Amino acid sequence: MTERTLARNIRRLTLTIAIAFLIASIGVGYWTVVAASDLNADPFNPRLIAAVRDRPRGKIVDSSGRVLAESAKIGDAYRRRYPDRSLAQVVGYASFKYGASGVEGAYQESLIGQDPSDLLGQWKARYLGEHGVPGSVVLGLDPKVQLAAATALGGRRGAIVALDPKTGRILASVSVPSYDANALVDPAQQDVAWQQLNDAKDKPLINRVAQGLYPPGSTMKIITAAAALENGFDPNQKIRVDDPYQADRSWGDYYVRSSSGAHGDYDMSLAFQRSENIYFAKVGLTIGAQKLALMAQKFGIGHAPALDLPAAKGQLSNNGQLDRPTLLADTSYGQGELLTSPLQMAMVAATVANHGVQVQPHYATEIRDGSGGILRTIGGGAPDQIISPATAATLTGYLVQAVEAPGAFAFGAKIAGVHVAGKTGTAETPSGSPHGWFVGFAPAEDPQVAVAVIIENAGQGGVDAAPLGGAVMRAVLGK
């Protein structure tokens, strides 16, 4: 009898072991087959970089052909050289030890002559160790605009992004503080540099343009207004504003405050000029949480833009819902729990500029092969009509007023001879002085550029940011 139970136990243990082997096999299959393409393209995977240790990588250039990254032979290995510090987070680095980031990481395969469009080349490289001539990546950046943006921001922490509202091509991208990527590819300095950059409190490795998240402040009012206009709200209706405001006693001692201590009747145009919080809070409460949330989602808040570099998704609120009246009111004028990236707000401006059609942003425009021929062009994905052209036109009118009307907050963005549309924002932060925002586009009639500026802990908030937006747009328009 005991032999039988022992035999049974042995059989059961063996069966358990066999099942465990099956599970282990599935686990191995997951990494080798299912997750393989993600991991093989992971910028931290050293394989692609090391494959070209003894050969140069391709160049990264801007739209004028100016070199942003190239390989130089030092000793018996090739090392990257990065001339423009203001583009450190965009161009990135390709370190033998710490992997690659930015364009260096995202277009890694193209830069070592294994562009995904070239299947035969990839196969040869993998199985025969034969490498094609490395290709180059052309970015859409415009050197004059980039210089203007870098100069305008100076040493202040923050970010500026300018893009073409019709195509999504990014014209300028500045994130401060920046860093010297040359130190990360120098074997003598890389460890110290890597440690310092990772430990630094102000996170220089982060591309603030796409990965920095901030409360959008009053720039959010564009989305609130769009939601209202699209849902039949009459912008000419006068709404009574009395500071401080609460909808009913259930708000307790919570109030929405007007930045100008306003008492009076406001329509949408005046509310934009004065950036009146109470007006937009009332608008938000009128149209309701669902419609506001839907519009914010359409504009891309809460999901990452389809950028060719890593981008943050931001959030409408901590749980993605506007489930309390006070949260709805706060969100309507850009506070609450909202978080957006400068790129997302630039896209908001670009969508209004482009008659309500949203295009996806992109840094790179072309991949070229070793002999300079175009392998493929990079576009911004399918355009999407977010709001009606009529709504976009109405909003454009208000945004021009917000720059040009007497006493408008965004006066600093004015350009002589051109109608500029724009909106400032002042984002309250738990610590330090508020962040200053400006988003806008120009010329209002035929937009060439949309821009977003954020200055962290700016002294006076949005008023400080508007002139920077103006400077960048001037550079694009050649004024």
Partner 1 sequence: MIGARPAARLVELRLLIWVAALTLAGYVAVVAAASGRFAWYEIAVPVAVLAVFGALHVFLVSVGFRGDQLLLPIAVGLTGIGFILVERLAPNLLLQQLSWLVIAAGAFCITILVPRDLTVLARYKYTWALLGVLLLVSPLLPVIGREINGARIWVGIAGVAQFEPWELVKIALVIFFAAYLEEYREVLSTPPRRFGPIPVPPIPYLLPIVGMWTVAMLVMVFEKDLGATLLFFGIFLAMLYLATGEPVYTLLGLVMLIGGGFVAYHAFGHVAARIDVWLAPFDSELRFDEAYQLTQGLFSLANGGVLGAGLGNGMPERIPVVWSDFVFDAFTEEVGFAGALALLGLYLVFVYRGMLVALRAPTTFLQLLAGGLSFIVAFQTLVIVGGNAKLIPLTGITLPFVAYGGSSLVTNFMLCGLLLRVSDITARVRR
Partner 2 sequence: MEITFAVLLWGVRIVFLVLLYLFLIRAFRALHRALSDERVAITAREVGIAALVVTKSHAGGPRVGARLPLRAVSSVGRDAGNDVVLHDEAASAKHAIVSFADGEWWLEDAGSTNGTLLNGSRIWDKERLHYGDELAVGRIALRLERAQ
Contacts with partner 1, residue ranges (CB under 8 A): 2-3, 5-14, 17-18, 20-21, 23-25, 27-33, 35-40, 42, 44-47, 50, 98, 126-127, 129, 194, 198
Spatial separation of the C-alpha atoms in residues 101 and 310, rounded to whole Å: 9
**Among partner 1, partner 2, none, residue 36 binds (CB under 5-8 Å by kind):** partner 1
Between 3 and 253, whose beta carbon lies closer to partner 2? 3
75 near partner 2, rule: CB under 8 A: no
**Among partner 2, partner 1, none, residue 19 binds (CB under 5-8 Å by kind):** none
**Tokens in use for 285?**
């409460």
Nearest distance, CB of residue 1 and partner 1, angstroms = 11
Cβ neighbours of 14 (radius 10 Å): 10
28 near partner 2, rule: CB under 8 A: no
7 near partner 2, rule: CB under 8 A: yes
- CA dihedral for 202, 151, 343, 319, sign (positive or negative): positive
Between 1 and 188, whose beta carbon lies closer to partner 2? 1
Identify which range of 114-122, 125-133, 303-311, 404-412 contacts partner 2 by CB under 8 A.
Answer: 125-133
**Among partner 2, partner 1, none, residue 98 binds (CB under 5-8 Å by kind):** partner 1
Between 7 and 393, whose beta carbon lies closer to partner 1? 7
Between 39 and 192, whose beta carbon lies closer to partner 1? 39
120 near partner 2, rule: CB under 8 A: no
Position of tokens 């970015």? 139
Identify which range of 128-136, 277-285, 386-394, 459-467 contacts partner 2 by CB under 8 A.
Answer: 128-136
For 40, phi then psi, to 5°, come to -65, -30
Between 75 and 127, whose beta carbon lies closer to partner 2? 127
Q: Active-site residue 218, yes or no?
A: yes
3 near partner 2, rule: CB under 8 A: yes
127 near partner 2, rule: CB under 8 A: yes
In sequence order, the β-bridge partners of residue 72 are 79
Binding footprint of partner 2, residue count (CB under 8 A): 7
Centroid of chain to Cα 259: 28
Distances (CA, A) of 337 to 283, 330, 427, 435, 436: 18, 8, 11, 15, 17
Spatial separation of the C-alpha atoms in residues 479 and 470, rounded to whole Å: 10
Length of the chain, in residues: 479
Nearest distance, CB of residue 164 and partner 2, angstroms = 46
Nearest distance, CB of residue 54 and partner 2, angstroms = 14
**Tokens in use for 200?**
């630094």
Per-position x/- string for 129-148, each x denoting binding to partner 2 as judged by CB under 8 A, each - no binding = xx------------------
In sequence order, the β-bridge partners of residue 362 are 169
> Is the link from the previous residue into 443 a cis peptide, with omega within 30 of 0?
yes
**H helices of 60-170, where?**
88-91, 102-106, 108-111, 119-128, 143-153
Nearest distance, CB of residue 35 and partner 1, angstroms = 6
Nearest distance, CB of residue 129 and partner 2, angstroms = 6
Burial status of residue 134 (CB atoms within 10 A of its CB: 0-12, 13-18, 19 or more):
buried
Position of tokens 């009146």? 276
199 near partner 2, rule: CB under 8 A: no
Say which of 95, 101, 175, 218 is annotated catalytic: 218
33 near partner 2, rule: CB under 8 A: no
Q: For residue 8, what are the contacts with CB-CB under 8 A and spacing of at least 6? A: none
* 77: nearest Cα among 98, 102, 51: 51
Nearest distance, CB of residue 31 and partner 1, angstroms = 4
Q: What is the largest CA-CA distance in the chain?
A: 102
Q: For residue 404, what are the contacts with CB-CB under 8 A and spacing of at least 6? A: 411, 414, 419, 420
Between 11 and 66, whose beta carbon lies closer to partner 1? 11
Between 6 and 74, whose beta carbon lies closer to partner 1? 6
DSSP 236: T
**Among partner 2, partner 1, none, residue 32 binds (CB under 5-8 Å by kind):** partner 1
Centroid of chain to Cα 380: 14
**H helices of 43-107, where?**
46-50, 88-91, 102-106
Between 22 and 200, whose beta carbon lies closer to partner 2? 22
24 near partner 2, rule: CB under 8 A: no
Q: Which residues in the 311-350 window bind partner 2 by CB under 8 A?
A: none
Interface residue list for partner 2 (CB under 8 A): 3-4, 7, 127-130
Active site residues: 218
